[in-house]
């Protein structure tokens, strides 16, 4: 049963990423400006890694394992769901909803690309380091 649920979750995630790809535009990604891109970098390079390291305080994971998890972190699709909920609430003006949407989408897109390119090297790093560090 759990394997079926996991597969269903992965298929739903794949569908969400494919749908995300259909709405991407250069215009949208550039609409957030430099301050929006600073938020993206802050989220990917500081906030997510820091939250992972804090979450693993007192855990038995090795430093390389924690670094790997901090780099790859949790999936960012939840931020898209939250942005969609904010947009559907009707509280904000259309331009504000668009800005929030693209600030939520940009880190996910960057994460997919960057982590896709560095995944294999990251796995090798953890594998090599874990073999040298006794538990």
Per-domain residue ranges of the chain: 2-132
Q: What's the mean pLDDT in 9-30?
A: 85
| Structure confidence by residue, pLDDT tens digits, 4-17 | 778 887 788 788 78
Better-scored residue on pLDDT, 17 or 94: 94
Backbone angles phi, psi at 121, to 5 degrees: -65, -40
Is the pLDDT confidence value at 23 over 60? yes
Mean pLDDT estimate for the chain: 84
Burial annotation 24-47 (CB, 10 A radius, 16+ → b, else e):
eeeebbebbeeebbebbeebbeee
pTM of this structure: 0.74
Is the pLDDT confidence value at 99 over 90? yes
Dist. CA 64–CA 127, nearest whole Å: 9
| Structure confidence by residue, pLDDT tens digits, 36-85 | 999 999 988 898 888 888 888 888 888 888 888 888 766 677 888 889 89
What is the per-residue pLDDT for 95?
93
Dist. CA 39–CA 46, nearest whole Å: 10
Q: What's the mean pLDDT in 110-129?
A: 83
Q: What's the mean pLDDT in 114-127?
A: 83
Q: Which residues contact 111 (CB under 8 A, 6 or more apart)?
A: 44, 73, 76
């Amino acid at each position: 049963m759990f394997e079926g649920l996991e597969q269903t979750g992965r298929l739903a995630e794949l569908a969400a990423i494919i749908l995300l790809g259909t709405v991407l535009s250069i215009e949208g990604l550039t609409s957030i400006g430099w301050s929006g891109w600073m938020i993206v970098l802050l989220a990917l390079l500081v906030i997510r890694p820091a939250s992972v390291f804090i979450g693993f305080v007192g855990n038995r994971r090795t430093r390389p394992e924690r670094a790997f998890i901090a780099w790859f972190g949790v999936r960012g699709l939840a931020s898209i769901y939250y942005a969609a909920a904010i947009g559907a609430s009707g509280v904000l003006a259309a331009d504000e909803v668009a800005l929030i949407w693209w600030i939520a989408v940009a880190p996910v897109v960057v994460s997919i690309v960057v982590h896709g390119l560095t995944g294999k090297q990251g796995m090798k790093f953890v594998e090599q380091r874990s073999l040298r560090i006794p538990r």
